[in-house]
Amino acid sequence: MSASPEQVTSISAGRHDVLVGAGALSALQRTVQDMGPTAVVVLGDDNTLRHCLPELLGRVPALRKAGTISIPAGEGSKSLEVCRELWTHLAERAVDRQALLVCLGGGVVTDVGGFVAGTFKRGIRCAHVPTSLMGMVDAAIGGKTGIDLAGVKNIVGLFHDPVGVYVHPPFLKSLGKRELLNGLAEMIKHGLVRDADHWNAIREAPLHDLDALAPLVLRSAGIKAAVVAEDPLESGPRKALNFGHTIGHGLEAYSWESGHRALLHGEAVALGMICEAWLSWRTGLLDREAYDRIAAQLQELYRPFALDSSAEHRIIELMRNDKKNKAGEFRFTLLTAIGAAAVDVPVSAAQVQEALDHYRLLVRE
């Protein structure tokens, strides 16, 4: 990690760098100038083009002649239909392999934009400019791209590294509280799997105070980047970042189809972390006091999600598509302490059911 006088901290994520701070967009300006792409297209959604594009263009003059493409805001845009529109748009503009796609947005824009860039003409370059907290600390970093299909999250995708990730924290000014909490869930996860001090600092942080949040964004982006650098293709240590996501993805997918309030990704991960921290205790890896502290923090921050036993069966069914499963058996990332995780822990469907039962009763109390 190195800081420059321009207030940019450059962090290596192995196959790409993450630039964080007030000078991040100047770094993007230099990258675009040095690269000299044949065409530049900025991809954003309704909100990010409205709230963030003017500032991006103000700070990165090299993008002023870029074309822009807008996709509807929200998870629904991680679809084959949106990819088709984007591929068609690029084809109609005769975009070639020396072009650059700049993805300006949250995890949806960087996931779908990265996927389209990685597949168009077998791969064009992309640069990520995350605008949500979730994007800054997690989604934009690490080259994982993907779209949803058949009700399953991220089931189609590929690894396609951006030329860089440019994190400009002032973009967070226009982000609502629910979205901040959404990103905070991944920051809490970073602390839980890698850094107990970071977890404690997050517990103290006033979410509405951007000055207090910015150093925590830097720390979380640093944890994500370090884990990715160790294991770019997720064959080992990177699986630590899946803590909360196995049950979380099941809950998220269930919330879309059930007519319940649809959970945001981070909200589902937060509830997944309660269940998976409980499983960590139940399997003897984590002590009870640590579980209680984790559950208390998450319950204080995130609204409960009511379940019944038919919901539990469906959630387990949805989890069967999880990419981490091996030979039909669930593989979990569980905690061994606050700040440390074990990956690839086999867990039976009966144990998952117990964890969901536990959560159902916890919420009912």
Ligand X SMILES: NC(=O)c1ccc[n+]([C@@H]2O[C@H](COP(=O)([O-])OP(=O)(O)OC[C@H]3O[C@@H](n4cnc5c(N)ncnc54)[C@H](O)[C@@H]3O)[C@@H](O)[C@H]2O)c1
Residues tagged active-site:
122, 144, 186, 224, 234, 238, 242, 245, 249, 265
Among 125, 198, 219, 265, binds ligand X (CB under 6 A): 265
Q: Which two structure tokens, joined as six digits, stand for 105?
A: 């947005």
Cβ–Cβ < 8 Å for 79, 64: no
User: Does 322 participate in binding ligand X (rule CB under 6 A)?
Assistant: no
Rounded least distance, CB 114 to ligand X, Å: 7
User: Does 24 participate in binding ligand X (rule CB under 6 A)?
Assistant: no
The beta-strand segments (E) located in the chain are 2-4, 8-12, 17-20, 40-45, 67-71, 100-105, 125-130, 147-149, 152-156, 165-167, 330-337, 340-347
Among 9, 26, 31, 47, binds ligand X (CB under 6 A): 47
Query: What are φ and ψ of residue 141, in 5° steps?
Result: -100, 130
C-beta atoms surrounding 214 within 10 Å: 18
Distance of CA 129 to the CA centre of its chain: 13
Task: Indicate the helix (H) or strand (E) that contains 83.
Answer: helix 80-92
DSSP state, residue 137: I
Among 17, 45, 267, 276, binds ligand X (CB under 6 A): 45
* Helices (runs of H) and strands (runs of E) counted in the chain: 14, 12
Nearest to 48 by CA among 139, 150, 164: 139
Which stretch in 21-29, 42-50, 85-93, 229-237 sits in contact with ligand X by CB under 6 A?
Answer: 42-50
Would you call 343 helix, strand, or coil by DSSP?
A: strand
Among 21, 23, 37, 106, binds ligand X (CB under 6 A): 106
Contact string 108-147 vs ligand X (x = CB under 6 A): xx-x-------------------xx-xx--xx--x-x---
* Shorter beta-carbon distance to ligand X: residue 181 or 342: 181
Cβ–Cβ < 8 Å for 199, 341: no
122 CB contacts (<8 Å, ≥6 apart)? 97
User: Does 245 participate in binding ligand X (rule CB under 6 A)?
Assistant: no
Bridge partners (DSSP) listed for residue 10:
2, 19
User: Does 86 participate in binding ligand X (rule CB under 6 A)?
Assistant: no
Rounded least distance, CB 94 to ligand X, Å: 28
Rounded least distance, CB 174 to ligand X, Å: 4
Rounded least distance, CB 170 to ligand X, Å: 9
Q: Which residue is nearest to ligand X (CB)?
A: 107
* Shorter beta-carbon distance to ligand X: residue 112 or 307: 112
Tally of CA atoms within 13 A in the half-sphere of 345 that contains its CB: 24
Among 21, 107, 248, 272, binds ligand X (CB under 6 A): 107
User: Does 18 participate in binding ligand X (rule CB under 6 A)?
Assistant: no
User: Does 68 participate in binding ligand X (rule CB under 6 A)?
Assistant: no
Which residues are near ligand X by CB under 6 A?
Answer: 45, 47-48, 51-52, 73-75, 78, 105-109, 111, 131-132, 134-135, 138-139, 142, 144, 153-154, 171, 174-175, 179, 182, 265
